[in-house]
Amino acid sequence: MEFAIEIDNLNVRFPARGSTVQALDGLSLRVGLGEAVGFIGPNGAGKTTAIHVLLGFIEPSSGHAKIFGQDSRQSVARERIGYLPEHPDTYRFLTGRELLRMAGKLFLMKEKNLRERIDAVLRLVDIEQAADRRIGTYSKGMLQRICLAQALINNPDLVILDEPTGGLDPLGRMDIRKLIARLRDEGKTVFFSSHELSEVELVCDRVAMLARGRLVAEGPVTDLVAPGESLERFFLRTVAGPQSEQRATPTSREMGNRKQKGHRP
């Protein structure tokens, strides 16, 4: 079987003052084609680091990562990826449309194709009305959307999103959720990290949970959590031990989420 993402025994160490920080500690993970996988874990667990290895930004200290069977260090491995960085920002002196054109050119897209694709992507992230304005004038939400748009310009088969809902209002978060669901329905593979566990529950087929650079849990949400338990409670139980469980009480939103979850296949 072919995998969209294959991570094997990945170790990443960062030099820190006097010692080293083990950001990833023997991480192994596979993401199949067409899956939507949520990548969760506490702050500093190594999620962003793992994604950076996948995109070839970081050379791992040992182990390797493959994308569609190709070594992630090669630039061809990125032909079929769309990536939204953790702190999305882009060239503020460009207009939205110029940015998308540039992104498309980097994929060597043909002019006619590109023009159509730009319009389609602008519609997809709902930012058509501001497409010809300088990005410097955009709000944070709009910036997030235009960055998402440039990540999708090449109609990628694998979409990697690093905290796509960070800093968005509930409406914006819902839009992102819908978008992820839509991408998944189109048969794309979606791999995204998030701290919004209720959302992860809603849109993911599977979750992979990271703590201190190690994979601590992996599988469909329904398999992981005990009946009647929320993902958030599971998260706290797994990461911080049972004593922290007492501190967390289920919110009404979580209850609602769980009800919805039942409708999903």
Ligand X SMILES: Nc1ncnc2c1ncn2[C@@H]1O[C@H](COP(=O)(O)OP(=O)(O)OP(=O)(O)O)[C@@H](O)[C@H]1O
Helix (H), strand (E) at residue 104: helix 96-106
| Interactions with other proteins, residue window 141-170 (CB under 8 A) | 147, 150-151, 160
No. of H helices and E strands in the chain? 9, 10
Cβ proximity of 11 and 62 under 8 Å: yes
Q: Is residue 48 near Mg ion by the rule CB under 5 A?
A: yes
| 79 sits near other proteins (criterion: CB under 8 A) | yes
Please, are residues 36 and 205 in contact by the beta-carbon 8 Å criterion? yes
Q: Please state the closest distance from residue 255 (CB atom) to ligand X, in A.
A: 26
Token pair of 219 as six digits: 């599988």
CB of 166 to ligand X, least distance (A): 9
Beta carbon of residue 168, minimum distance to Mg ion (angstroms, whole number): 16
Give the count of beta carbons closer than 10 Å to the beta carbon of residue 244. 13
Distance of closest approach, residue 38 Cβ to Mg ion, in angstroms = 14
Question: Mutual orientation of helices 140-152 and 111-124 as an angle, nearest 10°?
Answer: 140
Q: How far is 158 from 151, CA to CA, in rounded Å?
A: 10
Please select the residue that binds other proteins; options are 59, 116, 185, 186, rule is CB under 8 A.
59
Between residues 23 and 121, which has the closer beta carbon with respect to Mg ion? 23
3-state secondary structure of 52: helix
Give contact residues for ligand X (rule: CB under 6 A). 14, 16, 21, 23, 41, 43-49
Instruction: Round to whole Å and give the CA distance between 56 and 103.
Output: 18
Contacts of 222 (CB under 8 A, 6+ apart): 261
Residue with Cβ nearer other proteins (105 or 123): 105
Per-residue binding string, other proteins, 205-244, x by CB under 8 A, is ----------------------------------------
Write down the least CB distance from residue 188 to ligand X, Å. 23
DSSP H helical ranges for 67-110? 96-106
* Contact indicator for 189, 155 with CB cutoff of 8 Å: no
When the beta carbons of 44 and 56 are compared against ligand X, the nearer one is 44
Q: How far is the CB of 67 from other proteins (least distance, A)?
A: 11
Query: Which residues of the chain form contacts with other proteins (CB under 8 A)?
Result: 14, 52, 55-59, 75-76, 78-79, 81-85, 87-91, 93-94, 98, 102-103, 105-108, 136-137, 147, 150-151, 160
